[in-house]
Amino acid sequence: MILMLLAPHPSWLIIVIRHHLLTLKSYGWLATHLLISYTLMFLACTSLIVCLARDPGPVSSPEDAQDDNEETSFTEALMASGADDFNSPGKWCKKCWATKPERTHHCSICRRCVLKMDHHCQWMANKCIGHRTYPAFVHFLTCTVLMAMYMGGVAISGFYYAFTNPTSIDETTPLHELGIGFVGLIITAVVGSFLGYHLYLISINRTTLEDLSPFLLLRLIPNLMNPHDPFPTSEHRLSFNQRRVVKRTHRQIQLYNVGWRKNWGQVFGWERRRGWVYRLLLGGAGKGDGRAFPRNPRSEEMLVKLADDLRNADKDS
């Protein structure tokens, strides 16, 4: 990832020096282009370092750490954590053999649970993006897209100048401008689309896993097959009609959507009215401990309706 960020800069320096300094004799534009591009580069690198160095969301805090020689049975652990209700936000991870707080997911690649896990990113040193790194991840995407748009725009304008004034510039600079312009357009289109998707997810307070995995909702509703069973219904026990109901309605069930302003403040951690300016410039961390989140006031109503729709799915067929 760092190599991809640094690779265009030799050509970028050739463009701004040969075109704006040697050809146009514009020291002001030279300084402006260097200041803006390398400020965005610095901000992108700081966010990238945070994503690579910070733990995405450890489930067990130092206070919860116990001696390795101490053995705790399954029943004792449940009683100690108060997780006697498997339909409550706090659940049990059978792979980590530990409690799993609300919106926490187990990553099969990292082999651990991550608080508010968004997704596992191979581009970020094969690490997960979670509660403690998601703001930095979005900040990195934003800075990368802005840098690609800016450098690509400057390169394309320089290439147009060289095309209309062929005798005023050397023959190699337009090749660098064409290359930077093409790379800038590709990065803007690809990474920009990815960034737009995450901005949409932030606005409705949903993670990538929650958006792409509709059957995660089953963990929050009672067992449809056996109401006396404390474990929720599993996906493989649903009928074809019930699966269609879940897939059709899961995008409308926004359990954690408390309004776009509060959603953004919750993700980036600002509390003051204009605190988002500081967070968008320098990144930041989400609010809270990543274990509990405010719910949409209509969340229970939406879950009850989904449960009723699932019970009646096969009756209506």
Mean pLDDT (the chain) is 83
Question: Out of 51, 107, 121, 143, which one is annotated catalytic?
Answer: 121
Active site residue 45: no
The predicted-structure confidence for 85-106, as pLDDT tens digits, reads as follows 444 445 778 888 888 888 999 9
Query: Which CB contacts under 8 angstroms, 24+ apart, belong to 115-123?
Result: 115/56, 115/57, 115/58, 115/59, 115/289, 115/290, 115/291, 116/57, 116/207, 116/286, 116/290, 116/293, 117/56, 117/57, 117/207, 117/209, 118/207, 118/208, 118/209, 119/207, 119/208, 119/209, 123/1
> pLDDT 10s digit of each residue in the chain, 317 long?
777 788 888 999 999 998 888 888 889 999 999 999 999 999 999 899 989 999 998 887 544 434 433 443 444 444 444 444 444 445 778 888 888 888 999 999 999 999 999 999 988 888 999 999 999 999 999 999 999 999 999 999 999 988 888 878 888 889 999 999 999 999 999 999 999 999 999 999 999 999 998 888 888 886 665 666 655 677 777 888 888 889 888 888 999 999 998 898 888 877 776 666 666 666 666 778 888 899 999 988 888 888 888 888 877 55
